[in-house]
A and B are shown apart, each in its own frame.
Chain A
Amino acid sequence: MTVPVFFGCAFIAFGPAFALYLFTIATDPLRVIFLIAGAFFWLVSLLFSSMFWFLVRVITNNRDESVQNYLLIFGALLSVCIQELFRLAYYKLLKKASEGLKSINPEEDIAPSMQLLAYVSGLGFGIMSGVFSFVNTLSNSLGPGTVGIHGDSPQFFLNSAFMTLVIIMLHVFWGVVFFDGCEKNKWYILLTVLLTHLVVSTQTFLSPYYEVNLVTAYIIMVLMGIWAFYVAGGSCRSLKFCLLCQDKDFLLYNQRSR
């Protein structure tokens, strides 16, 4: 759909992730490393899930349209499970790493805290997931044509861009909540994350009803965002203080109470 659409959709999908990266990750090299490691873990999870999906396809060896469709849904759900599995694996790895670092240097506090790592890993997962799912569509948006000649919705690129945006943000929030659940050994949290991920994934198969898709996804994102905000240590009070610019007193109060 030409260059303006390419840049527009790229900014929509990756704008917030870029902003987050620029202001929070890029300043510290250690965070960059953890971000890239998180992205790599997501890639490996995709590799495994695609391998399983392909094996299943080859084994069933059925050319029937509906069977292929069911296999695709099965593959997507399996991929969600494997992604969450790899999130758990990354958590375990980070836990071991931070314990190892602490044993070497018990006084210094150079390693980021687990909450920070949760956020970084979530962002890593999100960026990789977004890039992988959207880059192909983005490159096609550079051409002169737009979707629609076979009857699909002409808003395909915009919808994909907004969906990618919501997936990236959701991965960030899921990361925060998931790691918190692992830290506190609250397994129901892990299950909730898995379930919401499954819901978001499954309802994308409802296309071309893009509006239902997007609205549901954004609602889930807002809910997860609020949950992650509380898990990360925010509260209504701190938000009020921040917005009303009464931060100095709050900081002093915080320092003393620590």
Chain B
Amino acid sequence: MATTRGGSGPDPGSRGLLLLSFSVVLAGLCGGNSVERKIYIPLNKTAPCVRLLNATHQIGCQSSISGDTGVIHVVEKEEDLKWVLTDGPNPPYMVLLEGKLFTRDVMEKLKGTTSRIAGLAVTLAKPNSTSSFSPSVQCPNDGFGIYSNSYGPEFAHCKKTLWNELGNGLAYEDFSFPIFLLEDENETKVIKQCYQDHNLGQNGSAPSFPLCAMQLFSHMHAVISTATCMRRSFIQSTFSINPEIVCDPLSDYNVWSMLKPINTSGGLEPDVRVVVAATRLDSRSFFWNVAPGAESAVASFVTQLAAAEALHKAPDVTTLSRNVMFVFFQGETFDYIGSSRMVYDMENGKFPVRLENIDSFVELGQVALRTSLDLWMHTDPMSQKNESVKNQVEDLLATLEKSGAGVPEVVLRRLAQSQALPPSSLQRFLRARNISGVVLADHSGSFHNRYYQSIYDTAENINVTYPEWQSPEEDLNFVTDTAKALANVATVLARALYELAGGTNFSSSIQADPQTVTRLLYGFLVRANNSWFQSILKHDLRSYLDDRPLQHYIAVSSPTNTTYVVQYALANLTGKATNLTREQCQDPSKVPNESKDLYEYSWVQGPWNSNKTERLPQCVRSTVRLARALSPAFELSQWSSTEYSTWAESRWKDIQARIFLIASKELEFITLIVGFSILVFSLIVTYCINAKADVLFVAPREPGAVSY
């Protein structure tokens, strides 16, 4: 221990030493609670199911405010449920469910007997080639697209085509008990070991105490609906000194960029024509912040990123007659948050591009699971009832087919009969104005994605696998077959956009790079913390990348990791590295020929130098910007709107899970009775001895011995 050596004598020195050691002692005492470590085993790698609210309903799960405790029961086959539902003598039970049993039937049974269920812990199953699991509804975003009972009733509510056939709708149910996902196999083993040691009785009889139990905390503050929780938050923030906000609207940012830079401080002239290329960024699953979204989101936006890169490389980009806008919408999973906000901004002049400027609209739906090279072109039948729109759509499809002809690995197919548009951002644009648009997808009828918006929509779902012996760096650059297929789709898209924008000469030279596609897929689906992602991000964003895949849930704090990475990836792929210094990069107004209105400048980390000692940062100039993606319902304070998305996420204080042993109620009461009797006995004896103290002790003294 360091001694304080003062210049002036020993006294201040020793006092200082005393103070120092006193504070050090205090610090040491606050370290950890060893008794607590004897009792509880915390489960750290879990994902909870949280409460989401919309205009009329609440969905998700809720626990009681001090957590829900239940005796663990492992359910590996359906018969094990009987113990939980009827036979078990020690309700409530905490069910540890195998992933493959997490189906609608089982959940209906559990939902029906809530008095005996304290909660649910689900383990990850190993999906095989025939299984499917989609907790989303069968008709996603129903009621917020174009088709309603008044417009296109024959297409409304998925009457003609059930898009998500395998959906069981679990994610949109309301559960009154907590449900957690156990992500780590080791923790699951520990729980099962505890169960086998303590919870199995002899020969099927009741097990004896102490029993192994689990406690789940996930108390949600918001109730009933968005209207209720926003009203309560509003009242709190207006009248309370310490406001208690109970829910937050789901919001983030859309990423958009233009092929030719435009002046964002003003709007575009009405005669400027823009071709829009759109896709979605987000996905979801039953559990909070777990949204691998490989087929439902990642493959699509990766393809669009590659197409943007390919298109920007065309030589005559600056002379094209029309501009091209690449936009990545966030929040499309939750009733089109991003696209409805962009349409609203366009209508109200808050966005540089207006609805009148849009010439055509090409959207990428789910494109990674193509069977036999087919890429289907979906169009809207209702808007095509108008002759001019029909002709425009016809031209659009013809252009696409012409561009697709040069890529033999992609066969563009039209649909045989008129069919509704699949759930897509184009629907929100069509609600506002009849534009000619097409959605490219790998499915003609219902989705090929058997794990739509679930925890199993991972890299394996789109056949992105890497050999086991390779290092992460080798994996980053390893071109998988999926990457090649997506690169072909990106080539088709880029060529089509080129032709739609008026280009003619260099169409066949536009080629998307499979290397880019595979690096993007690796970063988004396998390991975000890789050398390429690190080099394209800003310095203070580097901690946003960890060794696991990125999760593409919109969340409530913005921008999310995915938004940032897509923004910087698009900047890297479509922008230019300039020679500006760091100060110039932050304020380019002083530099001639650079304009903050036309471009965005960002100072990124850059790659390692040859010695790997430091990075070579650079200033990247691009037209990539973020646009707010908050539903107009919250801007207009119309919290029970049926026109715009009203999804909000509840707030919570504490989410944790732990296991421990519990003792029987009888033992607890025996302890209480023993304590009580000892107290009463000692009161009586002390009183008696005190009263007789003069007799017992020669000198007046108080009682000493309590004789046994």
Contact digits for B31-48, partner A, Cβ 8 Å, 1 yes 0 no: 001011011110000000
- Contact A150–B686 (Cβ < 8 Å): no
Q: Which of A58, A140, A152, A225 has the most B CB atoms < 10 Å from its CB? A: A140
- Complex CA gap A54/B29 in Å reads 10
How many angstroms between the C-alpha atoms of A37 and B365 in the bound complex?
Answer: 78
Chain B, range 173-195, C-beta contacts under 8 Å to A: 194
Q: Across the interface, do A119 and B704 meet the contact criterion of CB distance under 8 Å? A: yes
B residues 663-708 touching A (CB-CB < 8 Å)? 663, 668-676, 678-679, 682-683, 685-687, 690, 692, 694-708
B682 to chain A: which residues have CB within 8 Å?
15-16, 18-20
A217 at the interface (CB under 8 A from B): no
Q: Assess whether B24 is interfacial by the CB under 8 Å rule.
A: yes
Interface residues in A1-60 (C-beta closer than 8 Å to B): 1-2, 4-5, 7-12, 15-16, 18-20, 22-24, 47, 50-51, 54-55, 58-59
Q: Is B451 located at the chain interface by the 8 A CB criterion?
A: no
Asked if B1 lies at the interface with its beta carbon under 8 angstroms from chain A, I say yes
Chain A minimum-CB-distance residue to B40 = A145
In the complex, A250→B697 CA distance in Å?
11
Closest B residue by C-beta to A175: B704
CA–CA, A229 and B696, complex, Å:
9
How far is it, in angstroms, between the C-alpha of A233 and the C-alpha of B692 when the chains are bound? 13
CB-nearest residue of chain B relative to A224?
Answer: B705
Contact of B38 among A5, A150, A176 (CB under 8 A): A150
Query: Is there contact, CB below 8 Å, between A23 and B210?
Result: no
Contact A8 B660 (CB under 8 A): no
- Whether B698 contacts A145 by the Cβ 8 Å rule is no
**Contacting residues, chain B, for A218 (C-beta < 8 A):** 708
Does the CB pair B675–A54 fall under 8 Å? no
**Binding stretch for chain B, among A79-87, A96-104, A234-242:** A234-242
Residues of A contacting B67 in the complex (Cβ-Cβ under 8 angstroms): 144
Q: How far is the CB of B325 from chain A (nearest CB, A)?
A: 56
Task: Tell me, rounded to whole Å, the shortest Cβ–Cβ distance linking B662 to chain A.
Answer: 6
| A193 interfacial by beta-carbon distance below 8 Å | no
**Which of the residues B1, B661, B671, B698 comes within 8 Å of A5, measured between beta carbons?**
B671
Residue B212, interface by CB 8 Å: yes
Asked whether, in the complex, the Cβ of A20 is within 8 Å of the Cβ of B692, the reply is: no
Q: A8-B672, A10-B675, A238-B696 are in contact. Are A140 and B704 (CB under 8 A)?
A: no
Contact of A232 among B675, B687, B701 (CB under 8 A): B701
Known contacts A2-B668, A4-B669, A169-B706: A24-B696 contact under CB 8 Å: no
B704 touches A176 (CB 8 A): yes
A170 to chain B, nearest CB (A): 12
B686/A24 in contact, CB under 8 A: yes
Could you tell me if B704 and A19 are in contact, using CB atoms closer than 8 angstroms?
no
Determine if A158 and B671 form an interchain contact, defined as CB atoms under 8 angstroms apart: yes
B151 sits at the interface (CB 8 A): no
Cβ-defined contact, A251 with B694, below 8 A: yes
Residue B285 lies at the interface, judged by CB distance under 8 Å to chain A: no
Task: Please give me the residue from chain B that is nearest to A148 by CB atom.
Answer: B661
Give how many B residues have a beta carbon under 8 Å from the other chain's beta carbons.
60
Contact A154 B661 (CB under 8 A): yes
Query: Could you tell me if A51 and B21 are in contact, using CB atoms closer than 8 angstroms?
Result: yes
B215 CB within 8 Å of chain A: yes
Complex Cα gap A58–B697 (Å)? 50
Q: Is A172 an interface residue (CB 8 A)?
A: yes
- Shortest distance in angstroms between B38's beta carbon and chain A's nearest beta carbon? 5
Question: Are the CB atoms of B699 and A12 closer together than 8 Å?
Answer: no
What is the distance, in angstroms, from A47's C-beta to the closest C-beta of chain B?
8
Contact (Cβ within 8 A) A145 B213: yes
Could you say which of A9, A22, A140, A225 contacts B33, with CB atoms under 8 Å apart?
Answer: A140
Interchain nearest-CB distance for A30 vs B (Å): 13
B1-29 CB contacts (< 8 Å) to partner A: 1, 21-22, 24-25, 28-29
Scan residues 114-130 of chain B and give those whose CB is less than 8 A from a CB of chain A: none
Instruction: Give, as a whole number of angstroms, the nearest-CB distance from B91 to chain A.
Output: 15
Q: Footprint of B on A, CB under 8 Å?
A: 1-2, 4-5, 7-12, 15-16, 18-20, 22-24, 47, 50-51, 54-55, 58-59, 113, 115-116, 119, 136-137, 140, 143-150, 152, 154, 156-158, 161, 165, 169, 172-173, 176, 218, 222, 225-226, 228-229, 232-235, 238-239, 241-242, 247, 250-251, 254
Binding site for A on B (CB under 8 A): 1, 21-22, 24-25, 28-29, 33, 35-36, 38-41, 67, 69, 194, 210, 212-213, 215, 658-663, 668-676, 678-679, 682-683, 685-687, 690, 692, 694-708
- 19 A–B contacts from the bound complex (CB under 8 Å): A4-B672, A11-B679, A15-B675, A16-B706, A19-B682, A119-B704, A136-B35, A144-B215, A145-B215, A146-B660, A146-B662, A147-B38, A147-B661, A149-B38, A149-B660, A161-B675, A173-B705, A222-B708, A238-B698
Q: Nearest 10 CB-CB pairs, A to B?
A: A145-B660, A11-B675, A8-B671, A8-B675, A15-B679, A233-B698, A16-B682, A233-B697, A225-B705, A8-B672
Given contacts A116-B701, A232-B704, 16 further A-B contacts (CB under 8 A): A8-B672, A8-B676, A15-B679, A15-B682, A55-B21, A119-B704, A137-B35, A143-B39, A144-B660, A149-B38, A149-B194, A149-B659, A158-B671, A225-B706, A234-B698, A234-B704
